[in-house]
Amino acid sequence: MRPARLRAFWVTVAGAAGAWLVVNVPVYLANPEGWKEFYTFSRERGVDWGSPWYVLQVIGKGIPGEQNNIYTGGALVLLCLGIAALILFAPRRPRYAQVAFLVVAAFCLTNKVYSPQYILWMIPLAAMARPRWRDFLIWQAGDVVYFVAIWYFLQQYGNDNKGLPEGWYAAAILVHVAATAWFSGLIVRDILRPEHDPVRTDGRPEHLDDPGGGVLDGAPDRPGWGRADEVDELPDEPEPVGAHAAG
């Protein structure tokens, strides 16, 4: 809505949908039950390792099994609505990497399970959303704590319970959740106060707008709801790749 690039948006949606169909339809036709297994398992599974819902279960405040999807799905929807409001109300259009990181982090923090490999989704986005080593390493320290804890906890199975006690494992989950929430909070601050954005304020002309945003880079910024009296006059069509640097 804000960058006035709806045509590019719908082309991207159509391309993604087409690619999904090309990959999935042949598999579904060949083995429909096998194709549905992941979705069925995801819907029916209970809360599991790594999630804040598991911590509630450990302390005796777990969610009834039949309500798992309602709570986890509802929490994700609420966070995504908050991100949408942030986009609309921000004084300046957020960069693509900032929004993408917040959405993926919202999923990881509200899902019924947090697998260690999920961090691979967030690291590239974090590097583009807030490229600051200190903040990145603090956030990753929290995930390293969880990475060590999950394997120390799991190794007790079949090993006479010689692994990490469940209470300490739950504490490690909270460390991971707090670290990810903290890093996300820094990105939210960068969006609300663009003068803190380390990309747009690094002094490089080609970074003034959204260098990782593709067609969004250099697009006009329709005024957010919190700044209706301001309009950024930018080109109606994307500039060629490298146009900023060439200028």
The closest alpha carbon to 176, from 212, 196, 148, belongs to 148
Query: Is-contact 2 93, C-beta < 8 A?
Result: yes
Whether residue 247 is predicted with pLDDT greater than 70 in this model: the reply is: no
pLDDT tens for each residue of 55-112:
999 999 988 877 989 999 999 999 999 999 999 999 989 999 999 999 999 999 999 9
Q: Record the pTM.
A: 0.84
pLDDT tens for each residue of 197-230:
999 998 888 888 888 887 777 777 776 555 544 4
The closest alpha carbon to 107, from 95, 133, 125, 93, belongs to 125
Whether residue 21 is predicted with pLDDT greater than 80 in this model: the reply is: yes
Distance CA 54, CA 62 (A): 7
Q: What is the dihedral of CA 33, 38, 40, 43, to 10 degrees?
A: -170
Distance CA 225, CA 228 (A): 6
Distance CA 229, CA 132 (A): 33
DSSP string, 199-210: TTTSS-GGGSS-
